[in-house]
Structure 1
Amino acid sequence: MSKYIFHPNQFKDLRHDYDLIIVGSGSTGLVAALQAHELGLKPVIFEKMPKLGGNSTCASSGMNAAETDVQLRHHIVDTYEDFYRDTYIGGGKENNRDLLQYFTSHAALAIDWLDQRGIKLPNLTISGGMHMPRTHRPGNNAPIGAFLIKNLLKLCDQASIPIFNHAHVTRILTNGPRVFGVTVNFKGQKDVHVNSNVVILATGGFGAGKSIIKKYRPDLLHYRTTNQPGATGDGLKLGANVGAGLVDMTKIQIHPTVQQDTSHAYLIPEAIRGEGAILINQQGQRFTNELDTRLKVTAAINKLPEKKAYVVFDQGIRNQIKAIDFYDSIGLVIHGTDLNDLAHHMNVSPSNFTSTIKVWNQMVSKHKDNQFGRTTGMSRPINQTPYYAIHVGPAVHYTMGGLKVNRFTQVLTSADKPIAGLFAAGEVAGGLHGNNRLGGNSIAETVIFGRKAGQSAFQYLQKLNNK
């Protein structure tokens, strides 16, 4: 039995006191635990779901960072300022600037931190809203989420960091103005109080939380979600119950390219478009700049009568995206021996479709999109057989709103007063992304602010112990 799977016999391994308690086992929580452990602390991770990893396991495109050695090896010269500007503009200039400044200036350090621990991201692609290849990916082009979680769990195992699943934190305990522990409900067990002077919330967002979406954005209730079922906003409730403020709660991102003709909604990553794929409507024609922000691409798809489109690519593009093999294995990929055959299976006009591909390839050769102004993801034409398509439409994907935090990951009241001993990072924290998150920034956020949460916890305990 894996040491990561809770069993009643493991109850004896649970201590009553830890240096810090981390709620959530996604990338943010695992990184925070590792960073804290490296600073000499003894953390514990509680995960309410049976499976570890949270929404991080679903991430596919990569991790954004600027001024990295990886970029230089690819002859890409980038700057923190350009990274900041792309993210600020992509977020509608509604981002928390202090969070954004820290994020863009510490992303390269986060890439280095992973690399020094054997988690290497040597490949690059580009995501929507970016003007420079800065989305770092694994060497085999595998989806970054599962790759990252697998390796972080190995490091936690090596560090003997205890992780309990089926462990639902239902309450943060406070003594006056300070945190002193949590109440945890274990599957099949009664509530248990676990003591700690520090709690880090790394519970993710509320993309699967219908009640919260109904409260803030009832207009989005008809959308399906890419989120795993545990993303119900637990961290927001835990924080709010001890006085935390909330920000940007109406800002919920709809991802434009989600395959949802099956019982489960599968996000089709931006990286496919970053490697050269295009979007086609039911008339067999392009209708937008495929690498505009998610907000704008979603709006373009929603203007179509059927509110659905096709991501179209060839074997050359498929070779760059390992995740497509998985989508194909579960029947999401439409095949065509040639363009006419693919058009037939897509039920679009063959003449329109072949003409569209011909014009696109001509524009790629000149690196100039005369139709929609696309300037990125044009490094290869669509001309290598066989050809493929995936049917997609918009779905709820990411919640930009969350707990009010500062760049030290301290959770704040609505009056900007830190709640002593309470920290939050990752999707549970609001403000970084403005009104629209750019692809590749979520995984970067988990590592950058996961590390910061671990560091801030250490500093807080040092001050507490010195009083």
Structure 2
Amino acid sequence: MAKYIFHPNDIKELNDQYDVAIIGSGATGLISAIQAAELGLKPVVLEKMDKLGGNSTRASSGMNAAETSVQLQHHVVDSFQDFYNDTYIGGGKQNNVDLLKYFTEHAALTVDWLAQHDIKLDDLTITGAMNTKRTHRPSSQAPIGAYLVTSFLQIIEKMGIEVYNNVDVEKIDKNDADISGVEVKDVDGNAHSIKSGAVILATGGFGANKQLIGQYRDDLTHYRTTNQEGATGDGLKLATDVGAALVDMDKIQVHPTVQQDNDHAFLIGEAIRGEGAILVNTKGERFVNELDTRQKVTDAINQQDTKHAYLILDEEVVNHAQAVKFYDSMGMVIHGDTIEELAGKIGADEKTLADTIAKWNQAVESGKDDLGRTTGMSRQLTHPDYMAIHIAPAVHYTMGGIKINHFTQVLDDNDDVINGLFAAGETSGGLHGNNRIGGNSIAETVVFGRQAGQQVFKYLNK
């Protein structure tokens, strides 16, 4: 099947008036555009990069939701409350509880909404700090981000929604107290003024902006990042320039499993651990509950002398985590016909690694793990060939951002609404507390992307 290619609009087609200007073409921006258009509005999507999709295209594990029909089909009984509790505890109990309540109670509806658009997430896996299988993904096990972004672009093309790339939004305009449009500059330096009754900020986080990270967490500036180069926090300045408040800016997540031996840092998705992979140090020993929070797993890796580790998996894990095949095609997977051969290739002691895997297999059989792991224990590592992926921590996600309420309305320092300004996705702050759980970022884009589109419709028709 030919790869789908979306062609953005030519800048000559840009009008000077739309109902809503959406800044950013990641999952949040695309979903909000689709939802707004379904409600009869005329949106425009503005993207500064040449490539569409933002960081969303790099998401791999899945989308969390509770009380879904998919879960019941897999004999998983879940609840909104359990989803809330896992996310609240995983976020250090520092989450904005209003955002969290809305999020956990509406994710299931978005799975249904996606299915109505023939985007079916009918398989399940589990991520760190979750106690139930609620990470939804396509049965093909295709990486969730690219799968969704491609699907959204196909819908956008059919709906005739305008999408422009290589355009910088330089300013949000206000008419007295209300948002009235945006000022943009195209790739040739030409200025364009767009009038719109509302603006949705969907510009993503600032994980690729070391200078901004350094203002809040100078202890993290030495890390590489999993983010695409456009994730520089532009939306934060656009918002604060019109009076928006920021929250949780020092809450920046380091992802524990990133392959970064070459120029590009590749996030190795949590679903691989969820499907049975383990982590070992250079001696070949396990040292952490691999499905603890990202923060705790990162801390455990950093406590190792080398500050790096290896994911260990086998052919059966790959059968349930197809992303490994992509990593393998990029030369990131080390193979061994036997455990001993694999140990030699990663510089670990053969007997130590063999003993570690034997002990893990016993833990899977008994359901009792010395390191406290209770999930992702459905299969033993007994199927050659055996594989390893070299990993180390890297900056991955910024939990802080623009202050919003659960209607996605942007707030100022007094918690007053800035009329006509909305924000959703990673550019907003507060939902995740001090640690985001895997599978919650994609869920956030869909839940609050839809909410933004709905609330803009409500605002413009009040």
For 1:432, what is the secondary structure of its paired residue?
coil
Q: Is 1:251 aligned to residue 251 of structure 2?
A: yes
1:21 deviates by 0.4
Displacement of 1:3 after TM fit?
A: 5.9
1:5: Cα distance to partner?
Answer: 3.6
Amino acid at match of 2:66: A
Tell me the number of residue pairs that the alignment of Structure 1 and Structure 2 aligns.
Answer: 459
SS at match of 1:298: helix
In the other structure, the counterpart of 1:196 is 196
Report the residue type matching 1:134 in the other structure: R
Once the two structures are superposed, residues 316-344 of structure 1 have per-residue CA deviations (whole angstroms, 9 ceiling, x without a partner) of 00111121111111110000011001001
**What secondary structure sits across from 2:429 in the alignment?**
coil
After TM superposition, give the deviation of residue 11 of structure 1 in Å.
Answer: 2.8
Aligned letter for 2:133? P
**Paired residues of 1:4 and 1:165 also in contact (CA < 8 A):** no
The correspondence of residues 163-312 of structure 1 with structure 2, limited to 5 A, is 163-312=163-312
Match of 2:174, SS?
strand
Question: RMSD of the alignment, in Å?
Answer: 0.9
Deviations 1:68-92 (A, max 9, x none): 0000000000000000000000000
**Structure 2, gaps ≥5 residues long:** none
1:315 is aligned to 315
Structure-2 residue corresponding to 1:30: 30
Cα distance, 1:367 vs structure 2: 1.2
CA distance in 1, matches of 2:347, 2:39: 58
Q: In the alignment, is residue 338 of structure 1 matched against residue 338 of structure 2?
A: yes
Matched, 1:4 2:1: no
The secondary structure found in structure 2 opposite 1:195 is strand
Aligned partner letter, 1:270:
E
Matched, 1:453 2:456: no
C-alpha distance in 1, partners of 2:442/2:249? 20
In structure 1, what residue type is equivalent to 2:338?
A: D
Match for 1:98: what amino acid?
A: D
C-alpha contact (below 8 Å) 2:66/2:78 kept by paired residues: yes
AA aligned to 2:386 is Y
- Secondary structure of the 1:310 match is strand
Give the alignment's TM-score, normalised by structure 1: 0.97
Measure how far apart 1:191 and its partner are: 1.4
Aligned counterpart, 2:121: 121
SS of the equivalent of 1:147 reads helix
Q: Normalization by structure 2: what TM-score?
A: 0.98
C-alpha distance in 2 between matches for 1:139 and 1:169: 38
Q: What is the identity, as a one-letter code, of the residue corresponding to 2:361?
A: N
- Tell me how far 1:2 sits from its aligned partner: 6.1
Aligned equivalent of 1:107? 107
Runs of 4+ with deviation above 2 angstroms: 1-6
Q: Percent identity?
A: 59
- The Cα offsets for residues 172-202 of structure 1, whole Å up to 9 and x where unpaired, read as 0111111111011110131111110100000
Q: Is residue 60–residue 144 contact of structure 2 (8 Å, CA) maintained in 1?
A: yes
Partner AA of 2:449 in structure 1 = G
Q: Cα distance, 1:4 vs. partner?
A: 2.9
CA distance in structure 2 between the partners assigned to 1:311 and 1:186 by the alignment: 44
**Residue 385 of structure 1 corresponds to which residue in structure 2?**
384
Q: 1:220 to 1:434 in 2, by over 3 A?
A: same
Corresponding residue number in structure 2 for 1:86: 86
Cα deviation 1:261-313 (Å, max 9, x = unaligned): 11000000100000000000011100000000001000000000100000000
C-alpha distance in 2, partners of 1:105/1:3? 33
What CA deviation, in whole Å up to 9, does each residue of 1:217-270 have, x standing for no partner? 111000000000000000001000000000000000000000011100000010
Give the aligned partner of residue 62 of structure 1: 62
Contact 2:8 2:162 (C-alpha < 8 Å) held by counterparts = no
Gapped regions of structure 1 (runs ≥ 5): none
SS in 1 for 2:89: helix
